[in-house]
């Protein structure tokens, strides 16, 4: 165009710049600190479990003790992170027995069977862990799970009702390694009880007919308590978790791990999306 038209030819410049050597992406300081904390906690957990076992009579050293659980993503998560208050379906009776029945009606299926189902549906056989702790969301979506999923969901329901409750890791008849829920007594009105969330049955801790025959540890959203009493039979136990001579806490107390501040976030959603 001529200068008299007042127009200038359009131009563009494409520029690509690289840095040599390449700069690493900025690190997520929060995630790095969390990873370091998890590594320290996992190392401490090994020593803690070994220490608990050494303190027990020889015939009692095979108790179920767990601090970290395998997740569906292949990681390990502190078991406390599975416990948080989660409301039951809005149209469900909020009595404890009704909640127990609701949870017990979800089909029981062990992780080996779930793993086979994943392989048959296109998963890689041989790469499915036989011990996976699913979140309550996944448990409800799959509409099946084993003892820990049932116990955790029921415990979380009770937490939403402000009911003190703990997940119990132990051994039962006939299932072997299993999970129950423990609720302490309150002001003399209720006996401490053990809830079998797979069968829908509840037992007083003194009931000799309870299928739970060995208690290894308990946990909630704040701590893990190892049973360090001479016996693991529920009927023989002192159930006062504040008594460190009978229940050794993982966090705090003499020789415990310093509680992280803040505590690691829960792996659970605030609410489970139930579908009809």
Exposed (0-12), middle (13-18) or buried (19+): which is 251, by Cβ within 10 Å?
A: middle
**Digit-coded pLDDT (tens) for 6-16:** 555 666 676 65
Q: What is the DSSP letter of 232?
A: -
Q: pLDDT at position 122, please?
A: 41
- The model carries a pTM of 0.82
- Main-chain phi, psi angles of 157, to 5 degrees: -60, -45
Query: 10 lies in a domain?
Result: no
Domain membership of residue 7 (yes or no) is: no
Query: Residue 71 falls within a domain, yes or no?
Result: yes
Residue 24 lies in a domain: no
* pLDDT tens track for 173-182: 999 999 999 9
Partners of 212 in beta bridges: 172
- What are the b/e assignments for 179-189, b being 16+ CB within 10 Å? bbbbbbeeeee
Angle at 78 between CA 74 and CA 82, to 5 degrees: 90
Spell out the residues 6+ positions from residue 49 whose beta carbon is closer than 8 angstroms to its own: 65, 67, 226
Task: Give the CATH number, domain containing residue 53.
Answer: 3.10.620
Give residue 97's domain range: 29-249
Domain count, the chain: 1
Strand partners, 202: 195
């Amino acid at each position: 165009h001529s200068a008299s038209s007042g127009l200038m030819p359009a131009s563009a410049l494409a520029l690509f710049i690289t840095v040599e050597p390449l700069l690493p992406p900025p690190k997520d300081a929060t995630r790095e600190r969390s990873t370091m904390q998890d590594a320290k906690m996992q190392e401490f957990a090994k020593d803690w479990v070994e220490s608990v076992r050494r303190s027990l009579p020889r015939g009692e050293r095979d108790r179920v003790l767990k601090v970290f659980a395998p997740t569906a993503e292949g990681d390990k998560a502190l078991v406390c992170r599975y416990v948080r208050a989660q409301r039951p379906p809005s149209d469900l009776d909020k009595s404890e027995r009704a909640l127990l029945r609701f949870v017990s009606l979800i089909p029981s299926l062990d992780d080996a069977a779930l793993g086979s189902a994943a392989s048959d549906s296109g998963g890689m056989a041989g790469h499915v862990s036989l011990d996976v702790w699913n979140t309550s969301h996944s448990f409800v979506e799959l509409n099946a799970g084993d003892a820990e999923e049932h116990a955790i969901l029921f415990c979380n329901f009770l937490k939403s009702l402000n009911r003190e409750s703990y997940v119990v890791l132990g051994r039962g008849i006939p299932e072997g390694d299993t999970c129950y829920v423990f609720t302490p007594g309150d002001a003399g009105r209720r006996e401490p009880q053990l809830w079998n969330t797979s069968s829908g049955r509840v037992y007083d801790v003194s009931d000799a007919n309870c299928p739970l025959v060995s208690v290894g540890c308990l946990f909630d959203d704040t701590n893990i308590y190892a049973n360090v009493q001479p016996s693991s039979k529920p009927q023989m136990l002192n159930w006062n978790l504040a008594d460190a001579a009978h229940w050794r806490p993982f966090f705090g107390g003499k020789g415990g791990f310093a509680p992280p501040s803040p505590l690691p976030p829960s792996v659970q959603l605030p609410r489970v999306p139930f579908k009809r």
